[in-house]
Amino acid sequence: MRITDIRERSTPVSRYADPALRSGDLTTSLVMVTTDAVRAGRRVTGYGYASVGRYAQGGLMRERFIPRLLAAQPDSLLDATSGALDPRRAWDVMMAGEKPGGHGERCVAVGALDMALWDIAAKMAEEPLHTVLARGLGRGHEVPARLRIYAGGGYRYPHNDLERLADEMRRFVDQGFTHAKMKIGGVPIESDLNRIEAAMRQLPAAAHLAVDAMNAYDVEMGLTAAARLAPLGLWWFEDICDPHDFAAQARVASTYARPVAAGEALFSLPEARLLDTHGGLRRDRDFLLFDPVHCYGLTGYLRIIEHLTQQGWPRSAFWPHGGHLFSLHIAAALGLGGAEVTPFAFHPFSQLSDRLRISEGHVDLPQQSGIGFELNPDIMQAFAAAFA
């Protein structure tokens, strides 16, 4: 088999269910990789996108990574035994000639293409991605039928914030979620405490709510927030300060006995090593939220998992960021703690699929071959419109 075409398009995404509410003019890259292979009477096509919360990476893809894949000798992308596409070999082709360091958002461009390549690999095997991954990685455990998840959202609304936040949390619970995450930071702590109280009232207990400061605090503000949050008994306190200010994070973590979470805004193994060495994280309670797409795709994410588990981190500490089906498969196949879902934000990627049952804080795993984007009409409509 060989890759015959690769296309990329940028599309807007919003942090809100109502895209008319301004949220930083965020975008993401849609990727479609076409092959000459046929399964079940259909051309095997892989779909991917550059996760959420940042910006499209089309320039990097078009200038460097897509041309390398299309110019590669077909055999260099294939598994020597099966003759099927091997995303790990394709990853090596994409990264050929790239210098160490300079991760920036290069890793996101590679990760979006990587997602589409894994979609192809699983479709070629005619199995869901979590099955292909668990077998290929030799995990030696049975993939569960359901995975633990939480609802991500809780962005500050420009009008009627407390009322709309409470309504959002109620809808999370109505959908079957038991845990949720909301945003804090950038405003006086009293305002955030009012928001937290409004959100907590909709959930079973305070320990079911995580808060995400979106890297907004310096060390003094972080210490103040930690002191005020500590009595609440929250699930975790996430992204306290600048992601590279490991000293500030360590200082705040040292005063905060409840769990903290970090890693969403770090995109490589070297950064993960620095976080583990200097960030003051505690293996017995804290959480690691690296996004597989933002970390050079599955290949880069696996390197982070391998290193940190060797350092004593339990797999249950890893909860991939992003809210997408790709993370769902990875978390299930690797036996991780769970995964994020964004029920309302970042349309058309704001839900996994109406066909995947959510109850008691768990979701059914997709059983369709590949990642399963085809189970979500909104996602497939976005791909069809982008590549018409």
Per-residue pLDDT tens for 344-369?
999 999 989 999 999 999 999 999 99
CATH architecture group of domain 3-126: 2-Layer Sandwich (3.30)
* Residue 183 appears among annotated catalytic residues: yes
Predicted pLDDT at 29: 96
pTM over 0.85: yes
pLDDT, tens digit (0-9, with 9 covering 90-100), for 148-167: 999 999 999 999 999 999 99
Q: By the 8 A CB rule, do 215 and 242 touch?
A: yes
The closest of 77, 79, 110, 85 to 95, measured between CA atoms, is 110
Q: Active site includes 99?
A: no
Catalytic position from the list 103, 208, 321, 362: 321
Please give the pLDDT value at position 25.
85
Architecture of domain 146-375: Alpha-Beta Barrel (3.20)
Question: Is a pLDDT exceeding 90 seen at residue 40?
Answer: no
Q: CA angle 304-305-311, nearest 5°?
A: 90
Q: How many CB atoms lie within 10 A of CB 342?
A: 23
What number of residues does the chain have? Answer: 388
Give the 3-state secondary structure of the chain: CCEEEEEEEEEECCCCCCCCCCCCCCEEEEEEEEEEEEECCEEEEEEEECCCCCCCCHHHHHHHHHHHHHHCCHHHHECCCCCCECHHHHHHHHCCCCCCCCCCCHHHHHHHHHHHHHHHHHHHHCCEHHHHHHHHCCCCCCCCCEEEEEEECCCCCCCCHHHHHHHHHHHHHHHCCCCEEEECCCCCHHHHHHHHHHHHCCCCCHHHEEEECCCCECHHHHHHHHHHHHHHCCCCEECCECCCCHHHHHHHHHHCCCCEEECCCCCCHHHHHHHHHHCCCCCCCCEECCCCCCCCHHHHHHHHHHHHHHCCCCHHHECCCCCCHHHHHHHHHHCCCCEEECCCCCCCCCCCCCCCCEECCEEECCCCCECCHHHCHHHHHHHHHHCC
Report the pLDDT value the prediction gives residue 101, as an integer from 0 to 100: 79
Q: Per the residue annotation, which of 103, 183, 347, 362 is the catalytic one? A: 183
- Give the tens place of pLDDT for each residue, 163-187: 999 999 999 999 999 999 999 999 9
- Domain positions in the chain: 3-126, 146-375
- Gap between the Cα atoms of 125 and 121, Å rounded: 6
